[in-house]
Amino acid sequence: MDILIETGATPAESKTAQLDATQYTRESILKYEKIFGKNFVSTGGAESTREIIAMLNLKPGMKVLDIGSGLGGSAFMMAQEYGAQVHGLDLSHNMLDIAQERLHELNLEKQVSFEYGDFLESQIDAQYDVVYSRDAFLHIHDKAKLFQVIFKTLKPNGLLFFTDYCWGEGEHSEEFLAYVAQRGYAMYTPKEYGEFIKAAGFKDVQALDKTKLFGDYLRLELEKLPKDNSIPEIRQSWNEKILRNQRGEQGWGWFMGKK
Ligand SMILES: C[S@@+](CC[C@H](N)C(=O)[O-])C[C@H]1O[C@@H](n2cnc3c(N)ncnc32)[C@H](O)[C@@H]1O
């Protein structure tokens, strides 16, 4: 007989508890940083972020929302290099705790703020010039609602930009399907993602397949790992990702749309 334990937690709180206890424990976040670089837990770290942010046409004082802001690397760069005002929203307390420590160290409190929350539950109306996200939407299953809420959150003519892990066009191996299921990821091909964005009302939508660049970054990141093999699980996980990427199973995309 199944035994149901009533915790009284909301769905967002349950997701937080699960993320903080598994993929994003403080220890595992600090390990990820060793491969992605300080303040980043996403593909290409500071290097891809610098290239991407240069495309956003940010001006001093512009308001940016970073969904799934993690350790704050993107927010800090937008504030320091473009004078943007950035608000980061994240569902992991462990990520937010480290982000707050780094915010304090960098003395950027006047330009950057972080908040706990599930973006799907946010009630923000037409406040942001840019809604930005890096490799976080894979955690959000209801894509139709996700892009509807983003649309509401943006000012007229506001810009959406995000990157995310994607299904490649190739066959999916049992091993990859098991990995995606175990992590609870909700993934689509770049083309399918583009359709979700258009359906929410965005114009000038671009859905760029960056699968090859993803492979290049994975190989570069692997070279950055400490040579003493002190974190073998990360090395193994990157080697597996490289193989999936080479087989065309695991891709990456960059996405843009205007309100
Ligand atoms: C792979 S990390 C990327 C962090 C950061 N964007 C970066 O570039 O380093 C994904 C982040 O998305 C957050 N996240 C997942 N679901 C979320 C949701 N529904 N609302 C807000 N943040 C979410 C996770 O807690 C995690 O910090």
pLDDT tens digits, one per residue of 39-58: 999 999 999 999 999 999 99
Q: How would residue 6 be classed by pLDDT, with cut points 50, 70 and 90? A: low
Q: How would residue 226 be classed by pLDDT, with cut points 50, 70 and 90? A: confident
Whether the CB of 214 sits within 6 Å of ligand 1: no
Secondary structure element (H or E) that encloses residue 62, with its range: none
Closest ligand 1 atom to residue 39 Cα is 9
Question: 91 CA distance to ligand 1 centroid (A)?
Answer: 7
Whether the CB of 119 sits within 6 Å of ligand 1: yes
Q: What is the pLDDT of residue 230?
A: 79
Q: Is residue 160 part of a domain?
A: yes
The mean predicted confidence, pLDDT, of the chain is 94
DSSP string, 227-247: TT-S-HHHHHHHHHHHHHHHT
149: which 2 tokens?
């809420």
CA distance 61 to 244: 41
Q: Is residue 4 part of a domain?
A: no
Share of the chain above pLDDT 90, in %: 83
Q: Please say whether the beta carbons of 159 and 130 come within 8 A.
A: yes
Q: Is residue 5 part of a domain?
A: no
Q: Please say whether the beta carbons of 17 and 23 come within 8 A.
A: no
Q: What is the CATH number of the domain that holds 192?
A: 3.40.50.150
Q: Any bridge partners for residue 86, and if so which? A: 64, 112
Whether the CB of 140 sits within 6 Å of ligand 1: yes
Q: How would residue 2 be classed by pLDDT, with cut points 50, 70 and 90? A: very low
Whether the CB of 90 sits within 6 Å of ligand 1: yes
Tens of pLDDT, residue by residue over 85-95, are 999 999 999 99
- Average pLDDT (182-189) is 94
- Average pLDDT (22-38) is 94
The distance of Cα 135 from the centroid of its chain, to the nearest Å, equals 3
Q: Please say whether the beta carbons of 218 and 245 come within 8 A.
A: yes
Q: Is residue 210 part of a domain?
A: yes
Whether the CB of 139 sits within 6 Å of ligand 1: yes
Report how many domains make up the chain.
1
Q: Any bridge partners for residue 113, and if so which? A: 87
Q: Is residue 45 part of a domain?
A: yes
Q: Is residue 94 part of a domain?
A: yes
Q: What is the pLDDT of residue 5?
A: 54
Tens of pLDDT, residue by residue over 135-169, are 999 999 999 999 999 999 999 999 999 999 999 98
Q: Please say whether the beta carbons of 120 and 44 come within 8 A.
A: no
Assess whether pLDDT exceeds 60 at residue 3.
Answer: no
Tens of pLDDT, residue by residue over 59-103, are 999 999 999 999 999 999 999 999 999 999 999 999 999 999 999
Residue 167, φ and ψ in degrees, nearest 5: -65, 135
Kindly report the pTM of this predicted structure.
0.95
Q: Any bridge partners for residue 130, and if so which? A: 64, 159
Assess whether pLDDT exceeds 50 at residue 21.
Answer: yes
Closest ligand 1 atom to residue 36 Cα is 9
Residue 175's identity, in one-letter code, is E
- Domain encompassing residue 29: 11-258
Q: Any bridge partners for residue 164, and if so which? A: 253
- Average pLDDT (1-6) is 50
102: which 2 tokens?
């780094």
Q: Is residue 6 part of a domain?
A: no
Q: How would residue 1 be classed by pLDDT, with cut points 50, 70 and 90? A: very low
Residue ID of nearest Cα to ligand 1 atom 27: 70
Whether the CB of 92 sits within 6 Å of ligand 1: yes
Q: Is residue 32 part of a domain?
A: yes
Q: Collect all residues with Cβ–Cβ distance below 8 Å to 223 and sequence separation of at least 6.
A: none
Whether the CB of 91 sits within 6 Å of ligand 1: yes
